[in-house]
Amino acid sequence: MKLQDLNSIKERVLSDVLESTETIRVLVGLATCGIASGAVPVMEKLTELAAGNEKISVSKTGCIGICQYEPIVEVITPDHQKTTYVKVTPEKAEIIYKEHLLGGTPVPDYLVGTVLPSGEDEIATCLEETIFYKKQHRIALRNCGRIDPEQIDQYIATDGYQALGKVLTTMSPDDVIQTMLDSGLRGRGGAGFPTGLKWKFASGNRGNVQKYVCCNADEGDPGAFMDRAVLEGDPHAVLEAMAIAGYAIGASMGYIYVRAEYPTAIARLRIAIDQAKELGLLGDNIFGTDFSFDIDLRLGSGAFVCGEETALMTSIEGNRGEPRPRPPFPAVKGLFQQPTILNNVETWANIPRIILNGAEWFSSMGTEKSKGTKVFALGGKINNTGLVEIEMGTTLREVIEEIGGGIPNGKAFKAAQTGGPSGGCISKENYEVPIDYDNLIAIGSMMGSGGLIVMDEDNCMVDIAKFFLEFTVDESCGKCTPCRIGTRRLLEIMEKITSGNATMKDLEHLEELATYIKEDALCGLGQTAPNPVLSTLRYFRHEYEAHIKNKKCPAGVCKDLLVFSINPHLCVGCGLCQSKCPTGAIFGTLRKPHVINPEICIRCGTCISACKQEAVEVV
Amino acid sequence: MKAAQNAVPFNNDPALQERLQAIIEKYKDEKGALIPVLQQAQDIYGYLPIEVQMAVAKAMDVPLEKIYGVVTFYSFFNLYPKGDYEISVCLGTACYVKGSRKVLDCIQETLSIEPGQCTSDRKFSLDTCRCIGACGLAPVMLINDDVYGRVLPAEVPEIISKYQ
């Protein structure tokens, strides 16, 4: 494979497929979210209908980003008019086929504009016309939802592997590292370490020592799925970037550590690696140069701690995935005790574009110390759940109210949780703070891998902090005491608070212990485990105090603090609740108001659903 | 690590052993191959009984303790097989006060297995779970996706016999 060959593939695929002026292109979103929503039967239906019709090509693509409106079908006509259909079923697909693909008239009822506003007078006919999309800037997600991830040719047609060709034929390894340093790219896995600096640390003694390049695809934070979307929608971007890093630091071998819970991502990575090897874009003497680079997959086996860099390497080595103390840092002694760099999937996905467009292009986006864009997985109490890629410096208000479409059911925004079990909450008072690494840390949260869970007035912040703590207690590997025992003790105090048995002294202990764990745990998991507690204490201390002093959960979530009672004016004494109560906590005689004994009541809510008079009240 | 705990007799089929040996052979010279080998061994046997761990230890020249350490660290590895029918008994508060412990005892007696284990014919495996949100039906047990509510211990043999 030579650079000219790459260009001829690109021209051929552009004219025949991606920018064809002959055929209608039909794309079906077949990432995990699409498949789970029933996109496979839609794809089969369209393929069956279009069989034999040379003017229509149906193909799969990755995640388009609006998860809740899957399955999504996009139609691109030979005049390059694009139409996005949402919530498509096989029946709807048949109508789209007849009216739009054969008849030439888009079907208005299923358009994306019926669910997402365009901000203008006319309804949006394609995703690009919606406010949800217009406010985004896609670099890492550039190909997701645009190309078929199982066709290397289509990746090549979007300038794929051109960046690798450019570094191998026109740049020295040091030039590559300098470009990364100048771009200001920081690690997208959460901690935000400058990528170029990491590479520089590992770049010494090229050619004399075995080095490794690793990709962290062990995306374990509950609520984050941007890495999955990239792997399922654009796997070659990761492979190309890893090869670029291999050239920069002098490594010939790369490993992708991907969690076993992502079968679609694993399958597409395997296909991508095979295709790249077949075309000579991985393997020996790439583009006819001296540079050789190979990539292998390693599957995780269900341990959250393996997302931590040293634990991940210990796991690839075939051991229990326990972290190691740093220093030595992986750039000095990493995988198999050799110099190693590890970057996250989203970081990798940015790199080919930085090489092609230059460091200046990338560093012109974002804030002073956080360049480029960040992908967030929007979830929780928000109208548009899905994946969004925004320029650094966008405010939380813009993300939630404009891109996210606000909070459902007219409820009030309370907080947004970022960084998963390692992060914290952003409250309304920081609604206008530009989102970047340093600002988020200053307000007590962190960027994290990009989960952004929105909470409204019905969420109890103490309960949320407890939820994340339960997660870290479960996932603590047990190697160091502050994490293994400390987080468990923290959880016990949290349980005391949410069950109404805590005193203000416990709150002091909670803060003290949280601070100790943060300072003394061995790895990132333990050091950040108290963050959800500390940040909710910082902004929602009054909720903790309400649980402790008044024995009340203001949001009405913590079950132990709720009291179920029957309104005697509404109760008709039918006895339905009494017969349904699993613990026999309801007493009374027929046709007379009943009462609930709070000592026996387990607050399961069965009586509420049983009562036809709505007489059961919760305070 | 007692092999005797496992009610399911180890399937000593030479064909399976051959497949295992082929995998070990393939990874023999690769660094850090233990986890991929164990993952594929579990694909072959469905779980990782002590016999398989010993076979891997011997062929790869790795101490058995290390293999047991790795197997018990990751939640994807199972020491016991799962049955065709996975029975799950809710031990949440509502079910517990309504006697789900007695239901569990009765299942253990009927099938002669403990929670986490599988019957020797690999038909049933038994687990406990926390609240599944069907408190009004307490005590609750699940067999695959079928939910049984207000279960009396005396009914257990009859429910299980439906699947035998």
Alpha helices in A250-374 (DSSP H): 263-278, 309-316, 345-357, 359-363
The structure tokens listed for B22 are 């082929």
Rounded distance, CA A499 to CA A501, Å? 6
**Which sequence spans correspond to the domains of chain A?**
16-126, 152-363, 373-456, 461-549, 563-618
Q: Helix (H, G, I), strand (E, B), or coil: what is residue A547?
A: helix
Burial class (CB within 10 angstroms; exposed 0-12, middle 13-18, buried 19+) of B73: buried
**Nearest-CA residue of chain A relative to B131?**
A604
* C-beta of residue A470 within 8 angstroms of C-beta of residue A421: no
> What's the pLDDT band for B17 if we cut at 50, 70, 90?
very high
The structure tokens listed for A209 are 């020592």
Residues of chain B positioned with their CB less than 8 A from the CB of A610 = 136
Rounded to the nearest 10 degrees, the angle between the axes of helix A345-357 and helix A173-183 is: 110
* C-beta of residue A384 within 8 angstroms of C-beta of residue A127: no
Name B54's Cβ contacts closer than 8 Å, sequence gap at least 6.
Answer: B64
* C-beta of residue A550 within 8 angstroms of C-beta of residue A438: no
Which homologous superfamily is A16-126 in? Glutaredoxin (3.40.30.10)
Q: Residue A57: enclosing H or E segment and its boundaries?
A: strand A56-61
Last residue of a domain, one of B73, B94, B119: B73
Q: Shortest Cα distance from B33 to chain A (angstroms)?
A: 6
Last residue of a domain, one of B50, B73, B96: B73
**Nearest-CA residue of chain A relative to B34?**
A318
Per the CB < 8 Å rule, is B35 touching A315? yes
B115 and B53 within one domain: no
DSSP A574-597: --HHHHH-TT--EE--TTS--EE-
Name B8's Cβ contacts closer than 8 Å, sequence gap at least 6.
Answer: B49, B80, B81, B118, B119, B120, B122
* Position B1 pLDDT exceeds 50: no
Q: How many pairs of residues across A and B have Cβ atoms under 8 Å apart?
A: 70
Protein fold of A152-363: Rossmann fold (3.40.50)
When CB atoms are compared, the residue of A316, A319, A606 closest to B70 is A319
Rounded distance, CA A196 to CA A211, Å? 16
B152 and B89 within one domain: yes
Protein fold of A373-456: Ubiquitin-like (UB roll) (3.10.20)
B67 and B11 within one domain: yes
B60 and B96 within one domain: no
Instruction: Tell me the ipTM for this assembly.
Output: 0.85
Residues of chain A positioned with their CB less than 8 A from the CB of B77 = 301
* C-beta of residue A603 within 8 angstroms of C-beta of residue A561: no
What residue numbers bound the domain in which B46 lies? 3-73
How many CB atoms within 10 Å of residue A197? 14
Burial class (CB within 10 angstroms; exposed 0-12, middle 13-18, buried 19+) of A385: buried
- Residue B7 belongs to some domain of the structure: yes
pLDDT digits (tens, 9 = 90+) for B91-141: 887 788 788 999 999 999 999 999 989 998 889 999 988 777 777 788 999
B107 and B69 within one domain: no
Residue carrying the six token digits 């230059």 = A358
- Is some CB atom of chain B closer than 8 A to the CB atom of A302? yes
When CB atoms are compared, the residue of A301, A583, A602 closest to B39 is A301
* C-beta of residue A145 within 8 angstroms of C-beta of residue A61: yes
B95 and B61 within one domain: no
Domain containing B116 — which CATH number?
A: 3.40.30.10
Q: Residue A178: enclosing H or E segment and its boundaries?
A: helix A173-183
* Position B54 pLDDT exceeds 60: yes
Q: Helix (H, G, I), strand (E, B), or coil: what is residue A58?
A: strand
B51 and B116 within one domain: no
Nearest to A485 by CA among A476, A497, A493: A476
Total number of domains constituting chain B:
2
pLDDT at A582: 86
* C-beta of residue A27 within 8 angstroms of C-beta of residue A45: no
When CB atoms are compared, the residue of A321, A336, A580 closest to B73 is A321
The structure tokens listed for A258 are 């991907």
Residues of chain A positioned with their CB less than 8 A from the CB of B34 = 318-319
Residues of chain B positioned with their CB less than 8 A from the CB of A604 = 93-94, 135-136
Cis ω on the peptide bond leading into residue A149 (within 30° of 0)? no
B108 and B62 within one domain: no
- Residue B42 belongs to some domain of the structure: yes
Per the CB < 8 Å rule, is B32 touching A299? no
CATH of A461-549, one of 3.40.190.80, 1.10.260.40, 3.10.129.10, 1.20.1440.230: 1.20.1440.230
pLDDT digits (tens, 9 = 90+) for B55-67: 999 999 999 999 9
B62 and B125 within one domain: no
3-state helix vs strand vs coil in chain B, percent to 5: 50, 10, 40
Nearest to A322 by CA among A337, A303, A338: A303
The structure tokens listed for A356 are 């092609």
B154 and B90 within one domain: yes
B152 and B90 within one domain: yes
Burial class (CB within 10 angstroms; exposed 0-12, middle 13-18, buried 19+) of A344: buried
Residues of chain A positioned with their CB less than 8 A from the CB of B149 = none
The structure tokens listed for A148 are 């078929």
- Residue B79 belongs to some domain of the structure: no
B111 and B43 within one domain: no
Last residue of a domain, one of B51, B73, B95: B73
Rounded distance, CA A53 to CA B29, Å? 51
Burial class (CB within 10 angstroms; exposed 0-12, middle 13-18, buried 19+) of B99: middle
DSSP conformational letter for A66: -
Alpha helices in A77-158 (DSSP H): 90-96, 131-134, 152-157
Residue carrying the six token digits 């030595």 = A328
- Residue B126 belongs to some domain of the structure: yes
CATH for A563-618 is: 3.30.70.20
Sheet containing A24-29, strands listed edge to edge, beginning at the edge strand earlier in sequence: A56-61, A24-29, A73-76, A82-85
pLDDT over 90 for what percent of chain B?
Answer: 63
The structure tokens listed for A439 are 């600002």
pLDDT at B5: 55
What part of A 322-351 touches B (C-beta under 8 Å)? 322, 336
Rounded distance, CA A532 to CA A521, Å? 16
The structure tokens listed for A574 are 């039918």
pLDDT at B4: 41
Top residue of A335, A581, A602, A607 to mutate, by most chain B CBs within 10 Å, is: A602
Q: Indicate the pTM of the whole model.
A: 0.91
Rounded distance, CA A510 to CA A512, Å? 6
Q: Helix (H, G, I), strand (E, B), or coil: what is residue A1?
A: coil
Mean pLDDT by 10 residues, chain A (619 residues): 93 94 95 91 97 94 90 95 96 97 96 93 94 95 96 97 97 98 95 96 94 96 89 98 98 96 94 98 96 96 93 96 95 97 98 98 97 94 92 96 94 93 92 95 90 92 93 93 97 96 96 96 95 96 96 90 93 93 91 93 87 90
Rounded distance, CA A44 to CA A431, Å? 45
pLDDT at B7: 66
Residues of chain B positioned with their CB less than 8 A from the CB of A580 = 136
- Residue B80 belongs to some domain of the structure: no
pLDDT at B2: 42
